[in-house]
Chain A
């Protein structure tokens, strides 16, 4: 990331401010949607969708994952796998046990 020209870095700075502004807006939308009192399923879906969008922007632009080395992607792929196991494993286990009996 350090071999960039001054002009490229200034371009990145513009991008950082745009993303920061988008994150502000998305936060306001998240709170506004919560006051609509949607059914719980829809509320969870919308809140997590916006959170994922915000998280994606932070990771892609601020943490520059959009242009990172393969070693980082490989590491994150492994992390995502185990994270998914952590998130969904217990729920599947509970569903399976309730289905059995």
Chain B
């Protein structure tokens, strides 16, 4: 059975199905992170100084580098999509490969950050702030891992589709890119909220 509207746009929505699907998924993700953000704001504004136990242990320079890495990966994934639209598969592979390396670098830096906290016996149970810090950044890291798996598949075995159904593959890269930009978007708000304020 052929899945409908994987390439062409549906007449009623004006979108191919995967694109509508990813936007619906991202809407649910906004709710997920929104609930956690709301909890953080309530705890932060109502908790006073005692809430911030462990905040001084956060490593701003490392998080700053991670922010730049993630922003750069947003540029590289959109470049991979643009390369495919220009019919340049080799450049797609290059830019998607750089995106994957950025994601790995982000996770590596995050692991160093987490490791330093655990060494100093700072755990989610240490304080409310660290509890919400680990929840928010951990959930975000899970999303990065999810993106790594999907993008890795599209860079590797999944890229075979480009030979048989090029437009469908280009659409897949676009939807994977939308997800990846969302991951970047969440970090853009997490970084100042958790590390700088």
Per-position 1/0 for B2-40, Cβ under 8 A of A: 000000000001110001100110010011001101100
A69 to B45, CA, bound (A): 38
Known: A16-B78, A43-B197, A55-B188. A69 touches B15 (CB 8 A): yes
Number of interface residues of B (CB under 8 A): 48
Closest Cβ neighbor of B20 among chain A residues: A71
Provide the main secondary structure of the chain B interface: helix
Q: Is the CB of B14 within 8 A of A71?
A: yes
Per-position 1/0 for A72-101, Cβ under 8 A of B: 100110110011001101110010000000
Q: Pick from A12, A19, A59: contact of B185, CB below 8 A.
A: A59
Closest Cβ neighbor of B179 among chain A residues: A63
The winner among B13, B23, B68 for most chain A CB atoms within 10 A is: B23
Q: Is the CB of A54 within 8 A of B24?
A: no
Closest Cβ neighbor of B28 among chain A residues: A79
Known: A78-B27, A86-B35, A91-B42. A55 touches B189 (CB 8 A): yes
Q: How far is the CB of A31 from chain B (nearest CB, A)?
A: 5
Closest Cβ neighbor of A88 among chain B residues: B38
Which residues of the other chain, A, contact B20 by a CB distance below 8 angstroms?
A: 71-72
Closest Cβ neighbor of A43 among chain B residues: B197
30 contacting pairs across A/B (C-beta < 8 A): A12-B82, A20-B74, A23-B71, A30-B196, A34-B197, A43-B197, A44-B197, A47-B192, A48-B193, A55-B188, A58-B74, A62-B75, A62-B181, A63-B178, A63-B181, A63-B182, A69-B13, A69-B14, A75-B23, A75-B24, A76-B27, A79-B27, A79-B31, A82-B34, A87-B34, A87-B37, A87-B41, A90-B42, A91-B42, A91-B45
